[in-house]
Structure 1
Amino acid sequence: MKLISSAERNQLFESFAHDAFHLELRDDYSVPNEVGPFESWLNGTVDDSSFMAPWTQLMKRVTDAGKTVRRVRVVTEPHSSYIRWEHATSGVNEEAGESIRWLPRHKLPEGLVFPVEANDWWLFDDKLLAVGHFDEDGRVLGSDLIETPSVVAECVGIRDLLWGIATPHDTYKP
């Protein structure tokens, strides 16, 4: 399996036509550029979201062009500190045009099996998946690109199901 970098995955946002959807299934992400801001938030320091600027500028450009970017975050309750921080900073994502919904893990439909080995994924235009892979410490290793119609269709179904039952960011309160 050939993995592409996060930067290469982000280039997919320059070429999709209509909809990008992200399914997040982890309660913690060890993203190097988030360490300082996350620790500051834990210490009660004023939130500085400037580290998000490259992402939010990309999202603003994409959504201003009329494309949608959505994500569902499946989370464990009680929430990890990371998820509480993610919720506290999600307004920045939404201001840039993303739509975010939250789904507590215990509210998942009974018997639901996540495709692609229960990894996180981005789905672009119901045609292309970028499946995230992580190491034992939760650090991103890269994404695997999948265009197999049956796998993509399974993810489309999961997206539609979860989007319909997840709670919009502005009404979900950790």
Structure 2
Amino acid sequence: MRLLPDEGFPDLLRSCKREAFHLEVLDSYAEPYEHEPLRRFLAGEPDDYAWFQSWTELVQETTGRGVAVTRVRIVTEPHTDYTRFALAIAELNIRAGEDIRYLPRHLAGEDVPPDDFWLIDDELVIFSAFGQGGGSSGAVTTDPHIAEYCNQLKQRFWSLSTPYTEYHRQ
């Protein structure tokens, strides 16, 4: 495994040829760039989402090349403030071209990994470890056994999850 700095992720996504799958397992992320948008959301204040534009542009660029960008969020119910925030901005992800699905934690089973990961073209795995104070670090591997394990999790959680439009209506 090798470490991946945050700024290296866009290049990995740009190298993707078929599918970039993201599994999210945490109920809250303390990302510094989200502190103010989360505060505004909780206060019911408007947001121009300029802070999110680089992500939506990267997704549009990726899906524009014919690459699927998919995501399963395993969430605790009732939702945390952060999950409510993520649900509110998921519409921006969807418009950019992502396919996001939700899986209530109590339906996910006992094999939910402790960390998020990206699975690129079913071959490259990027694990994300988040600190309590925010920020993340990533570890990248092409180990076929790890990639197969992550692919099995992807298939299982995807089949159990509910598309955003249906989940958000509930």
Shorter-chain TM band? over 0.9
The answer for the alignment partner of 1:152 in structure 2 is 147
In the TM superposition, residue 2 of structure 1 has moved relative to its aligned partner by 4.3
**Distance (Å, rounded) in 2 between the aligned partners of 1:171 and 1:107:** 16
Give 1:134's match in structure 2, choosing from 130, 141, 149. 130
**Distance (Å, rounded) in 2 between the aligned partners of 1:48 and 1:166:** 30
**Distance (Å, rounded) in 2 between the aligned partners of 1:134 and 1:45:** 27
The answer for the alignment partner of 1:170 in structure 2 is 165
Task: Check if 1:98 corresponds to 2:98.
Answer: yes
Partner-residue secondary structure (3-state), 1:77 = coil
In the TM superposition, residue 6 of structure 1 has moved relative to its aligned partner by 1.6
In the TM superposition, residue 125 of structure 1 has moved relative to its aligned partner by 0.3
Paired residues in the alignment total 169
The answer for the alignment partner of 2:62 in structure 1 is 62
In the TM superposition, residue 31 of structure 1 has moved relative to its aligned partner by 1.1
The answer for the alignment partner of 1:120 in structure 2 is 116
The answer for the alignment partner of 2:50 in structure 1 is 50
Letter in structure 2 aligned against 1:113: D
Partner-residue secondary structure (3-state), 2:129 = strand
Partner-residue secondary structure (3-state), 1:41 = helix
- Contact 1:38–1:85 (CA<8 Å) still a contact in 2? yes
Partner-residue secondary structure (3-state), 2:140 = strand
- Contact 1:3–1:141 (CA<8 Å) still a contact in 2? no
In the TM superposition, residue 114 of structure 1 has moved relative to its aligned partner by 3.7
Taking structure 2 as the reference length, the TM-score comes to 0.94
- Contact 1:134–1:141 (CA<8 Å) still a contact in 2? yes
Segments of structure 2 that go 5 or more residues without pairing to the other structure are none
In the TM superposition, residue 139 of structure 1 has moved relative to its aligned partner by 2.0
Give 1:143's match in structure 2, choosing from 134, 138, 147. 138
The percentage of counterpart residues that share the same residue type is: 36
Partner-residue secondary structure (3-state), 1:172 = helix
In the TM superposition, residue 46 of structure 1 has moved relative to its aligned partner by 1.5
**Distance (Å, rounded) in 2 between the aligned partners of 1:90 and 1:132:** 20
The answer for the alignment partner of 2:37 in structure 1 is 37
- Contact 2:32–2:135 (CA<8 Å) still a contact in 1? no
Alignment root-mean-square deviation, CA = 1.4
The 4+ residue runs of structure 1 with deviation greater than 6 A are none
Taking structure 1 as the reference length, the TM-score comes to 0.92
In the TM superposition, residue 64 of structure 1 has moved relative to its aligned partner by 1.0
Letter in structure 2 aligned against 1:60: Q
- Contact 2:2–2:141 (CA<8 Å) still a contact in 1? no
In the TM superposition, residue 3 of structure 1 has moved relative to its aligned partner by 2.4
Letter in structure 1 aligned against 2:111: V
